Amino acid sequence: MKMIPGLITILALSPLVFGCVATTPAFRDDAGRILPASVARMEYVELGGVKQWICVRGVSIDKPLLLILHGGPGDAEVIAFRRYDAGLEKDFIVVNWDQRGAGKSFSPSMSADTLTVEQLVSDAHELVGSLKQSFGKEKIFLLGHSWGSMLGALLASRYPEDFLAYIGMGQIGNWADQEKLCYEFTFSEARRRGDRKAIALHERIGAPVDGLYRDYMDVLAQRPYLKKYGGFLYGKSSALEMYFGSYLRTTEYRDMNLFSYFKASPFNIRAMWPQLAKVDLSREAPQFGMPVFLFLGRHDRNCAPSLAEAWLSGITAPRKEILWFEASGHCPSFEEPEKFMAAMARISHNESFSEQVAVMSRQADLE
């Protein structure tokens, strides 16, 4: 297998960088004293009978809770959120969770049979209950990115009593339609650019049928072209520095070898992709008892914004807004972090996006 030079360098360094004790830094004042109301901890919690890792950080336990659901499935994102969006910790108690089978919650001995959409919804619901009890909160904020937006929408729709608001970033609407548009984009770009290798690949694997390729490895072969053609990060042909550069700058994963981290994504994709292709949120998450906000990158080709718009227009919620990120693809929180954090601060204070221009905002009564 051919490996990119940057990845070889990172992997070569991983025994040195990650062979240390993992920590998450405390919040301190100018004199170096730990802020008494702050929280900065990492721990394993048991969810659905399986130990799973969380990182909890905030300058004050009086702030509202925010649970972040990462993408993938299987792509833990705590390091990227810590690198680009640490400012969230001023307005929220931020909880990053490595879902079952992802990041530090991955184990080679784990049975793929336990990786189901329903199990992950159950794990998330159990975690929310535990967090509410631990911090004495009646409700929390929920943010889902990519696959996490599917998990988040299902969770928030089913358990409205738990949430102050739901925020979907790179929101998924209909998985099967999404995969069709994603394939069409990369194949079209390959032909426009005369990329013979990519053309041959797309002709070999063929378009997904009902969201499914003939082999799960075809997904892993197609996705690098999405990144190469700027459909993942706007204006960039690689996500290597964003993701893996983050690991070299933060401390929470220093006890984890990157080879183990890399195993999680294909393991999850192979186990869960056939299930994900069957999920249609317009049918399974049609009604919400809390405000719903979508953060959409204008140039996202991984999860087409048009499908997210269509889903949002069809659901019932007391408030619905879209905030467009004009210089982003699939990852607004990492591509435009200042705008992202400012929008999240407004949500935490129940304020409008105002000059950040939410292009759709309306009130609706729950049916």
What domains, with CATH codes, occur in the chain?
Answer: 5-172+239-361 (3.40.50.1820), 180-228 (no CATH)
CA nearest neighbour of 79 among 9, 153, 10: 10
More reliable by pLDDT, 137 or 1: 137
More reliable by pLDDT, 336 or 3: 336
Residue 290: its H or E element: none
Burial class of 363 by CB neighbour count within 10 A (0 to 12, 13 to 18, 19+): exposed
Residues 6+ apart with CB under 8 A from 37: 59, 60, 61, 62
Comparing 190-194, 268-272, 339-343, which segment has the lowest mean pLDDT?
A: 268-272
β 358-363/319-325 pair status: antiparallel
pLDDT band at 240 (very low <50, low <70, confident <90, very high): confident
209 to each of 46, 213, 216, 222, 278, how far by Cα in Å?
37, 7, 13, 15, 11
Half-sphere exposure of 182 (CA within 13 A, CB side): 32
Phi, psi of 217 (to 5 degrees): -65, -20
What is the spatial distance between Cα 309 and Cα 322, in angstroms, rounded to a whole number? Answer: 8
Q: What percent of the chain lies above the pLDDT cut of 70? A: 90
Half-sphere exposure of 209 (CA within 13 A, CB side): 4
> In this predicted model, what pLDDT tens digit does every residue of 61-82 receive, in sequence order?
999 999 999 999 999 999 999 9
What is the spatial distance between Cα 150 and Cα 128, in angstroms, rounded to a whole number? Answer: 16
DSSP secondary structure of 135-201: HT-S-EEEEEETHHHHHHHHHHHH-GGGEEEEEEES--SBHHHHHHHHHHHHHHHHHHHT-HHHHHH
Phi, psi of 173 (to 5 degrees): -105, -85
Query: Per-residue pLDDT averaged across 213-217, rounded?
Result: 88
Query: Per-residue pLDDT averaged across 4-31, rounded?
Result: 67
The three-state secondary structure class of 99 is coil
- Identify whether 274 is preceded by a cis peptide bond (ω within 30 of 0): no
Q: Note the pLDDT of residue 352.
A: 64
Phi, psi of 359 (to 5 degrees): -85, -10
Question: Cα 252 to the chain's mean position, in Å?
Answer: 18
Q: Note the pLDDT of residue 249.
A: 82
5 to each of 155, 222, 226, 239, how far by Cα in Å?
40, 20, 20, 14
Hey, what are 15's tokens?
């025994």
Residues 6+ apart with CB under 8 A from 44: 51, 52, 53, 54, 104
What is the spatial distance between Cα 116 and Cα 159, in angstroms, rounded to a whole number? Answer: 19
> In this predicted model, what pLDDT tens digit does every residue of 297-307 receive, in sequence order?
999 999 999 99
User: Which of 21-25, 133-137, 345-349 is most confident?
Assistant: 133-137
Greatest CA separation found in the chain? Answer: 62
> In this predicted model, what pLDDT tens digit does every residue of 87-110 receive, in sequence order?
999 999 999 999 999 999 998 888
Residues 6+ apart with CB under 8 A from 311: 171, 173, 174, 281, 282
pTM of the prediction? 0.91
Beta strands, E only, the chain: 39-47, 50-58, 65-69, 93-97, 140-145, 163-169, 292-297, 319-325, 358-363
